Structure 1
Amino acid sequence: MIDLLVVGDANPDVLVSGAPETPPAGQAETLVDTGTLALGGSAAIVAHGAAVLGLSTALAAMVGRDAAGDFVLDTLSTAGVDISGCVRHESLPTALTVCLNRPDGDRAILTAPGCLPAFGPEQVPAVAARHVHAASYFLQPRLAAGLAGLLEGFRRAGASTSLDTNDDPAGEWRLSPGLLAACDLVLPNEAEAVALASATGDRPGPAGGLHAALAALAARGPVPVVKRGGEGALALFEGALVGARGPLVTPVDTVGAGDGFDAGFLAGWLTSRDIADALAWGCACGALSTRAAGGTAAQPTAGEAESVVAQVQVTRARAG
């Protein structure tokens, strides 16, 4: 039995820093500060980070039969991820993302989905895993349509489950019926949490929106764990609001930090089932992942993360 099966997207990221907010057209050549080719896709970054932390990890994903697909699979395999569950589409290309990073840490993300919409639940292997994590729900409509049943099947086999939807390009945020109930954990960022809660019919207002969103998501079944960037993370667990905040870092690049958090959180959760410990590991791994460009270049080993975990401040308060 493996520790973790990750299901979802995998693609190269092209990271560009120092681009103007609106690059000029007219075939004008614009010089930028840096350009980096890195492993991308939320699921792939989570799998890579979990493997670096020492979890036995497999990825189920789809790439094309092209150089981009070779790059993705080689990078994952080198990190120790089991890629036997990755399939290659015969004609559609591997997805590709371009991130235009701004000095304030924000970024514009351009994604060509390639073969992602062709990936479906029937292509996910029925491996024995302690935990199954799904990512990038809105980029993979065939997978999304059957994801609730897929996760329920893994739960019947004894696995715990989690979901990080990531962004919805359509801005609708509608999840398939029963999906949240099939998840033990849901891991959005703050904006995603509020959007997902609003789409369920519970509409958090501007004041107290995060707490209302946590309650709305928890009412559907999962433990909501919300990532808040430099503010750390907040979870609603057994009637308590549990927060965690790591030491301040000066990031080189925040691409993939949320996925690094997911990898660390899941590693902590699978080790202890203690929400405070899992949050501390998530905050430590998310922060450390920002030390270099791209989502995987600076992902920490367990030994590297452990010293930062000890510095994470955890708070508890009764919800409501």
Structure 2
Amino acid sequence: MKSFDLLVVGDANPDVVVGPLRGPLEFGQREQLVEHAGLVLGGSAAIMACGAARLGLRVAFAGRVGDDPAGAFVREALAGRGVDVAFLVTDPVRPTPLTTVVTAGDGDRAILTAPGCLTATGAEDVPPELIGASRHVHAASFFLMPRLAQSLAPLFALAREAGATTSLDTNDDPAGRWDPELLRPVLEFTDFLLPNAAEASALSGAAEPGAAAAVLAGRGPTVVVKDGANGALAHTGTRLTHAPAVAVDPVDTVGAGDSFDAGFVAATLRGLDLRSALTVAAACGSLSARAHGGTAAQPTWDEALAAARAHLPAVPPALRTRETRSPS
């Protein structure tokens, strides 16, 4: 039996989330007041790992933090949400990444990140025995971690050899290059690519989400595109599937896409078909926006199913509980 349902590889850092900012960000030593501020767990990979653990998966995390108070905060926050951090490396030289998120009233946000030890994170931080012990391997923040990006293809290939499935959420490219040659070898070993609509467009060159998904699916993976209030869509290369968003009164959309990823992987590992997995994932993304920060409102499996039920085909009774069934 595999020890973990999910291994998440990638970024983990504290987020300082402030907002909403009602006007433009002003310089010139202007002090602007906002309604809310919070110190919360951040990093796409970390938020996804917490969402998956909340949904009942056995989750391990591999990555780096610094030997500093911010790194201790990250380690404690992940462990407190049920994520195994035994393989989270402490970098003796570089600091823990730090991010400030400034939210706007319309749901948009600006993100400022000091990468710290993200630049040193690579495949060597992921022991082969951990890959062999996991049913699924997910990586995030591809363009933030150049060493990991360059070594992710062989890591995913090793996961495939060990019988695991794989997924990737590239997230944004701060440099704006969206290098297709860097990504292309990784997609050969990626089962699910999980961009949002803007990322899918940048990666593919196609403006419309369905067209972007079709282009990217032609490179190998099933492509699952998050499209905010429009819900989500998936393209297998031959078939396009849609799922609606779940209506909520959003408080903070930080991390909603990562919670979506967690829901999609959890539903897929439980054996749901693509449309059902997409619907559960959309519910997880919507529900996570009910509170400030990326992890505070992440749903349980039963909560996600309840929210998605109006759009969800019949779910086998064995899949309705929070328990996961891991094959040997």
Residue 300 in structure 1 maps to residue 299 in structure 2:
yes
- Secondary structure at the aligned position of 1:268 is classed as helix
Residue 141 in structure 1 maps to residue 166 in structure 2:
no
Q: Name the counterpart of 2:92.
A: 90
- The residue type equivalent to 1:137 in the other structure is F
- Secondary structure at the aligned position of 1:13 is classed as strand
Q: Name the counterpart of 1:58.
A: 60
CA offsets per residue over residues 152-208 of structure 1, 9 Å max, x none? 11101100001000000111111424111110010000111111113xxxxx2x4xx
* Alignment root-mean-square deviation, CA: 1.4
CA offsets per residue over residues 92-146 of structure 1, 9 Å max, x none? 1110111110000001110110110011111112211110000000000001000
> Which of 173, 186, 192 matches 1:185?
192
- Secondary structure at the aligned position of 2:116 is classed as coil
Please list, as runs of the form range in 1=range in 2, the aligned pairs for 1:271-290 lying within 5 A after superposition: 271-290=270-289
CA distance in 2 between counterparts of 1:184 and 1:157 reads: 14
- Secondary structure at the aligned position of 1:178 is classed as helix
Q: Name the counterpart of 1:129.
A: 134
Q: Name the counterpart of 1:75.
A: 77
- Contact kept, 8 Å, 2:52 with 2:266, in 1: the verdict is yes
CA distance in 2 between counterparts of 1:54 and 1:248 reads: 24
CA distance in 1 between counterparts of 2:294 and 2:307 reads: 18
- The residue type equivalent to 1:143 in the other structure is L
Consecutive unaligned residues in structure 2, runs of 5 or more = 314-328
CA distance in 2 between counterparts of 1:312 and 1:107 reads: 29
Q: Name the counterpart of 2:324.
A: none
Q: CA deviation at 1:289?
A: 0.2
CA distance in 1 between counterparts of 2:20 and 2:203 reads: 32
Q: Name the counterpart of 2:325.
A: none
- Contact kept, 8 Å, 1:245 with 1:313, in 2: the verdict is no
- The residue type equivalent to 2:211 in the other structure is A
Consecutive unaligned residues in structure 1, runs of 5 or more = 199-203, 315-320
CA distance in 2 between counterparts of 1:131 and 1:186 reads: 13
Q: CA deviation at 1:20?
A: 5.2
User: Which piece of structure 1 moves more, 210-219 or 15-24?
Assistant: 15-24
CA distance in 2 between counterparts of 1:129 and 1:50 reads: 14
Please list, as runs of the form range in 1=range in 2, the aligned pairs for 1:196-235 lying within 5 A after superposition: 196-198=203-205, 204=206, 206=207, 209-235=208-234
- Secondary structure at the aligned position of 2:107 is classed as coil
Q: CA deviation at 1:313?
A: 6.3
CA distance in 1 between counterparts of 2:86 and 2:226 reads: 31
Q: CA deviation at 1:305?
A: 1.4
Shift in CA distance, 23/237, structure 1 to aligned 2, threshold 3 Å:
closer
- Secondary structure at the aligned position of 1:70 is classed as helix
Q: CA deviation at 1:238?
A: 5.9
CA distance in 1 between counterparts of 2:93 and 2:30 reads: 33
- Contact kept, 8 Å, 1:283 with 1:312, in 2: the verdict is no
- Give the paired residue count: 306
CA distance in 2 between counterparts of 1:194 and 1:27 reads: 37
- Secondary structure at the aligned position of 2:84 is classed as coil
Q: Normalising by structure 2, what TM-score?
A: 0.90
CA offsets per residue over residues 261-295 of structure 1, 9 Å max, x none? 00001000110151011101101110110000010
Shift in CA distance, 134/70, structure 1 to aligned 2, threshold 3 Å:
same
Shift in CA distance, 31/129, structure 1 to aligned 2, threshold 3 Å:
same
